[in-house]
């Protein structure tokens, strides 16, 4: 559905995207994560044809976004970070205006409007001026305009930002519902939200892809943390284990975190190594990887030391 190849973007001398590549398959729901300034909005603007990259290629459902922007945009429903809603228009008038902009044929307009309004539970607010709606309802209007032309791909820039806990749950469940009929890419700062909604998370940092994790694999991935009574040179032996993907040195105490291949059980193997080499073992424990541990590990590490982590199959 989306193929992004080596996109680069500069703002004056600042390199906001440094050669980003990833693919998204039909039917996936993917979270785009990253700290402030990582390049999420820049990526989304390029994918939706609102910003030209300096280099690289973006193809959406077979249409090249850079050369065939209008055709590609017809395939996409886009909710920008600050959706430009017109406060003086009623929900109905606004959505009719969007239907005209999207060139929905007159004979289909009524059905398309009804479907979008039903999906976003806006039926009882159709005559309310947008300016009088709560933030949660305005976000629903933003989603309604994004799905109005029945796109196969929805791209949502921080769809739950600024919502209260009730509105947040409503919008999340709406996104889940919409994912039954469209591929979805959305950006978020909220890790549990991405865990709850997504099949996959793409983590950007400093304009580069730092991890691409299928959440089911993450849950199955086996890490082990081994600590020693004193500094012990064990890295190479640990890295040599067949089930190890890579090894990180702990910064808080002598020891290592061994990132395992999905489904592997590292602890018995590490215990055997420790016995064989007489390591002064203090603790050996299994560690479940969550999006939060992956994100924090990446955020706390130096860019040049950590390769792109491919947790996905």
How many Å apart are CA 259 and CA 253, to the nearest integer?
A: 17
CB of 146 to ligand ATP, least distance (A): 18
Q: Which is nearer to ligand ATP, 148 or 209 (CB)?
A: 209
CB of 144 to ligand ATP, least distance (A): 23
CB of 81 to ligand ATP, least distance (A): 7
Q: Which is nearer to ligand ATP, 37 or 254 (CB)?
A: 37
Q: Which is nearer to ligand ATP, 158 or 297 (CB)?
A: 158
The residues binding ligand ATP (CB under 6 A) are 11, 14, 16, 34, 36-42
Nearest residue to 75 via CA among 65, 87, 84, 89: 65
CB of 294 to ligand ATP, least distance (A): 17
φ/ψ (deg, to 5) at 175: -65, -45
CA 110, 114, 120, 122 dihedral sign is positive
Q: Which is nearer to ligand ATP, 43 or 63 (CB)?
A: 43
Q: Which is nearer to ligand ATP, 10 or 150 (CB)?
A: 10
CB of 15 to ligand ATP, least distance (A): 9
Strand 244-249 versus strand 255-262 pairing type: antiparallel
Phi-psi region for residue 39, left (φ > 0), alpha (ψ -120 to 50) or beta? left
Here the tokens at position 255 are: 């020891």
Q: What CA–CA distances, in Å, run from 238 to 207, 223, 272, 277, 294?
A: 31, 12, 11, 12, 20
């Amino acid at each position: 559905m989306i193929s992004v190849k080596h996109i680069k973007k500069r703002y004056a001398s600042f390199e906001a995207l440094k050669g980003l590549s990833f693919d998204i398959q039909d039917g996936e729901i993917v979270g785009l994560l990253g700290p402030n300034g990582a390049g999420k909005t820049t990526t989304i603007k390029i994918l939706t044809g609102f910003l030209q990259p300096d280099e690289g290629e973006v193809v959406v459902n077979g249409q090249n976004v850079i050369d065939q922007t209008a055709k590609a945009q017809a395939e996409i429903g886009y909710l920008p970070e600050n959706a430009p809603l017109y406060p003086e228009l009623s929900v109905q008038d606004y959505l009719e205006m969007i239907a005209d902009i999207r060139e929905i044929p007159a004979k289909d307009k009524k059905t398309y409007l009804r479907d979008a309004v039903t999906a976003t539970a806006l039926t009882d607010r159709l005559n309310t001026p947008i300016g009088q709606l709560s933030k949660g309802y305005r976000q629903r209007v933003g989603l309604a305009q994004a799905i109005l032309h029945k796109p196969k791909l929805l791209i949502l820039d921080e769809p739950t930002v600024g919502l209260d806990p009730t509105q947040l749950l409503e919008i999340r469940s709406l996104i889940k519902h919409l994912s039954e009929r469209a591929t979805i890419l959305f950006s978020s700062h909220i890790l549990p939200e991405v865990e709850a909604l997504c099949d996959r998370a793409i983590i950007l940092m400093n304009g580069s892809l730092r991890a691409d994790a299928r959440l089911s694999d993450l849950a199955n991935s086996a890490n082990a943390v081994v600590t020693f009574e004193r500094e012990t040179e064990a890295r190479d032996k640990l890295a040599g284990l067949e089930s190890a993907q890579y090894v990180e040195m702990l910064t808080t105490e002598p020891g290592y975190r061994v990132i395992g291949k999905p489904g592997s059980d590292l602890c018995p193997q590490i215990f055997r190594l420790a016995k064989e080499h007489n390591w002064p073992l203090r603790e050996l424990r299994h560690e479940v990887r969550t999006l939060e541990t992956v994100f924090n590990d990446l955020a706390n590490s130096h860019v040049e030391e950590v390769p792109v982590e491919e947790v996905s199959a």
